[in-house]
């Protein structure tokens, strides 16, 4: 799948290599290549950049969670472009300002250094006055990590590019060879469903 021989290819989603066997519910990639014209009308271009979003199931192994819960983290990146030897070089620079949290009894696959905790709640009467409402302990912090599937997260992802080995055997050249920068991650559990995780990455591809 290095390049399509036509402008379009279509098949059933069960056979899509990025979803097949990975527990991924959805995966979307949006990319573009910046082009600048020099004074002599010579095109200057560099890496293809864009973003990748993934939502997947995150089954619990031996854990038993009874209450709804959620957790997540957001990282900020600045994009800088420079011209070097006739090429546009794109850099993603960590900007700091980490926002990490957990709310309710989350999976043991999630760890966070807590700096503040307070009560949160969720209440809605849209389904009738007997609809349950929930109080939860909300905790904010840093040093966030997730050791579950399909993609683990660590504090180093706040300042370093990330390798996504789950795409190695997909045959999709852009995904296999891209450099990734984590923008956000979230984990969510609503009893009695299977927990889900969502990822958002910036990507850079020099193919």
The pLDDT of residue 84 = 75
CA-to-CA separations, 32 to 35, 50, 101, in angstroms, rounded: 10, 6, 32
Domain membership of residue 108 as a residue range:
21-205
* Residue 25 located in a structural domain: yes
* Residue 6 located in a structural domain: no
Token couple for 184: 């956000």
* Residue 1 located in a structural domain: no
The pLDDT of residue 90 = 87
The alpha carbon dihedral of 54, 56, 62, 68 has a sign of positive
Residue 25 CA to residue 172 CA, distance in Å, equals 18
106 neighbors 70 (Cβ within 8 angstroms) = yes
Give tens-digit pLDDT for 44-65: 888 899 999 999 999 887 888 8
pTM for the structure as a whole: 0.86
* Residue 33 located in a structural domain: yes
* Residue 74 located in a structural domain: yes
Residue 108 CA to residue 63 CA, distance in Å, equals 8
* Residue 62 located in a structural domain: yes
Which residues, given as ranges, of the chain have pLDDT below 70?
1-7, 9, 13-15, 17-21, 171, 207
* Residue 10 located in a structural domain: no
* Residue 12 located in a structural domain: no
Residue 34 CA to residue 31 CA, distance in Å, equals 10
DSSP code string of 113-167:
EEEEEEEEEE---TT-TT---EEEEEEEEEEEEE--SSS-B-GGGGTS-B--GGG
Burial of 140 (0-12, 13-18, 19+ CB in 10 A): middle
| Residue in the structure block whose two tokens are 């891209």 | 178
Number of structural domains found in the chain? 1
Give tens-digit pLDDT for 3-40: 544 567 677 766 676 666 678 888 898 999 888 888 78
CA-to-CA separations, 45 to 32, 38, 40, 181, in angstroms, rounded: 11, 10, 15, 21
The pLDDT of residue 19 = 67
């Amino acid at each position: 799948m290095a390049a399509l021989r036509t402008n379009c290819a279509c098949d059933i989603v069960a056979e899509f290599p990025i979803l097949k066997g990975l527990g991924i519910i959805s995966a979307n990639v949006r990319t573009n290549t910046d082009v600048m014209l020099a004074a002599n009308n010579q095109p200057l271009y560099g890496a293809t950049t864009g973003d990748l979003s993934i939502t997947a199931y995150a089954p619990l192994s031996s854990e038993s969670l009874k209450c709804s819960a959620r957790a997540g983290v957001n990282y900020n990146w600045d994009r800088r472009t420079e011209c070097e030897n006739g090429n546009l070089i794109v850099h993603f620079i960590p900007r700091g300002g980490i926002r990490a949290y957990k709310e309710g009894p989350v999976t043991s696959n999630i760890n966070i250094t807590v700096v503040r905790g307070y009560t949160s709640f969720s209440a809605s009467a849209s389904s009738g006055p007997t609809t349950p409402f929930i109080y939860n302990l909300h905790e904010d912090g840093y040093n966030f990590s997730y050791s579950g599937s399909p993609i683990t997260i660590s504090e180093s992802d706040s300042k370093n590019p990330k390798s996504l080995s789950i795409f190695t055997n997909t045959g999709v050249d852009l995904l296999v060879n891209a450099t990734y920068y984590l923008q956000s991650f979230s984990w969510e559990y609503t009893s009695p469903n299977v927990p889900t995780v969502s990822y958002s990455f910036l990507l850079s591809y020099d193919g």
